[in-house]
Amino acid sequence: MRQRTRRAILKDLGILSATPLLGSFGLSLFPMEQIFAQTTGGKPLKFLAISFPHGAVNGDWEPKRLPDGSVTLLESKILAPLEPFKNRLAIFSGLGHENLKPVGSLSSISAHAGLAASFTGHATGDSLGASASIDYALSQKLYQADKVLRVGCFLSYNAAQGLDDRPSEICYSGAGESNRLSVIAHPQKSFEKAFAGFTSSAPTPEETAKQQAEDTINKLVQKQLSRLEKRLKGDERNLLLKHLETIEGLGKGVKDFTCQTKPTVDTSGFTASETSMAALTQRQADVVAAALACGTVSLASIEIMSRSHGSYNMSAVIKNDPRTAIKDPSALLNSTNFHNDVAHRLSTEGNFNTEEQRAFNQSQSWYMEQIAYILGQLETRGVLDSTVVMIGTEMGHPQHFGDAAIFMLAGGGFKMGRWFEHKAEKVQTYQHRCTPHNHLLVNVAQRFGLNVNTFGDSRFTGGLPADTRGQMLEPVS
């Protein structure tokens, strides 16, 4: 069968005859490469960092690769809530905080320092960042100060602190305590900062007509191409499917540029307690997603809970989350000191199916539910595909070893829908020689145009190497 060009296919449908109409509205839907540029490369990329504490247990959190080569998250004891977004994720196993290990040593200076190192690439023995974080580096090169929003979802560890701002655990302008950046802990204050100076404006008649025409044409094109898909095979069908996905993305991305009125976000009635934790996290996510979508913010971070203090009742957090799928929290989560009574009780590697393990996995699965909520808000507001979301934690085992920790990317900027299995050589119980996650930080920095070949630790140069399956992290424009 002779292959036809894309132009010929579209001409058969009569779609190309729509071009003059599109031009009258300032639109240019074809050729298809232009659509792709408008929906991905045509939008300035945004950045969102998300952190959560206490890591995960190796062997429990990883995805599963099925016989046909596809990946499922449903059998992961922690990542299952992210299954709806698996095609928008790049998941990395085998990465670790090698930057925390002195030369020639297998032991980290402090695994809790891994949270500070997750986004800085290096940390000190007192668990503080030893260099600027990736978000700060991007903000200095790409964004104005008023385009940056850093929020936290924290419990209150003393009555006086409440929901006051506090120092970040992941965001630094340089090394040490004095360079910890401030995090907004109350959704109302986050909203006020994100939309300070925002002026509502109704769309002009021309903007309304252009939007209506764009919506109508996109729907028409999608409908016609969907019919054509059934008649094509092989490469032609695959090409058409890519175009359909691109056109669909164009429709989703419209909201990214049409925020004429200030969004409404309920930011009232919160306290820094277990009973409000889920609602607090979700409202902060709502604010961040709205700000990224409206363009009032281009760079953001969300810190979910804190590694510094483990004196909270995780069972109460879970039971007061109406969205959670965790219906039977372990009795161990009733402890008021999760850090000592749950995380530190996981003392035997591979000790699966114990009650301690179940309790810990439930806790970490709850964090994944919150991350799924954040990604869902970004998708709903049409900004997920134009945002590079970096997700990190401090350790690969709650017994305080920074090996093989969870790192993920989500959204846009890179080819997603893949699980990268990087080399993590086990050398003794709990301890591995991992692929330094600094390489991932280099990938992210370079994707945003920063001229760097190291990040946080000069021992580790370049982006991520190929994983054990030969896969490379690929940027997309």
User: What digits encode the pLDDT tens for the residues 225-235?
Assistant: 777 767 777 76
**Do 207 and 269 lie in a common domain?**
no
Is the residue at 457 inside a domain?
no
**Do 284 and 358 lie in a common domain?**
yes
Q: Residue 279 is which amino acid?
A: A
**Do 321 and 269 lie in a common domain?**
yes
**Do 294 and 400 lie in a common domain?**
yes
Average pLDDT estimate for 81-109:
79
Mean pLDDT lowest for which of 290-294, 332-336, 457-461? 332-336
SS3 53: coil
Query: End of a domain among 257, 287, 306?
Result: 257
**Number of structural domains found in the chain:** 2
Is the residue at 94 inside a domain?
yes
Is the residue at 58 inside a domain?
yes
Is the residue at 476 inside a domain?
no
Q: Is the pLDDT of residue 351 over 90?
A: no
**Do 236 and 253 lie in a common domain?**
yes
**Do 328 and 224 lie in a common domain?**
no
Confidence of residue 202 (pLDDT cuts 50, 70, 90): low
Q: Is the pLDDT of residue 19 over 50?
A: no
**Do 398 and 287 lie in a common domain?**
yes
Confidence of residue 308 (pLDDT cuts 50, 70, 90): low
Q: Which of 168, 162, 170 has its CA nearest to residue 186?
A: 162
Give residue 398's pLDDT.
56
Give residue 179's pLDDT.
93
CB 269 within 8 A of CB 16: no
**Do 302 and 216 lie in a common domain?**
no
Q: Give the global pTM.
A: 0.78
Q: Which helix (H) or strand (E) holds 33?
A: helix 32-36
Q: What is the pLDDT of residues 153-198, one digit of tens each?
A: 887 544 445 577 888 989 999 998 899 999 998 898 999 999 988 8
Is the residue at 455 inside a domain?
no
Residue 275 sits in a domain whose CATH number is: 3.40.720
d(CA 30, CA 98): 48
Q: Which of 153, 172, 57, 49 has its CA nearest to residue 406?
A: 57
**Do 357 and 397 lie in a common domain?**
yes
Query: End of a domain among 217, 235, 257?
Result: 257
**Do 307 and 317 lie in a common domain?**
yes
Output DSSP code: residue 394.
S
Is the residue at 91 inside a domain?
yes
Q: Which of 41, 304, 250, 291 has its CA nearest to residue 143?
A: 291
Is the residue at 460 inside a domain?
no
**Do 26 and 127 lie in a common domain?**
no
Provide the phi-psi class of 471: left if phi over 0, else alpha when psi is between -120 and 50, else beta.
beta
Is the residue at 463 inside a domain?
no
**Do 184 and 326 lie in a common domain?**
yes
Q: Which domain holds residue 282?
A: 46-198+263-447
Measured between alpha carbons, how far is residue 197 from residues 191, 194, 296 in Å?
12, 9, 9
Mean pLDDT lowest for which of 68-72, 73-77, 321-325, 333-337? 333-337
Confidence of residue 417 (pLDDT cuts 50, 70, 90): very high
Provide the phi-psi class of 175: left if phi over 0, else alpha when psi is between -120 and 50, else beta.
beta
Q: Is the pLDDT of residue 129 over 90?
A: no
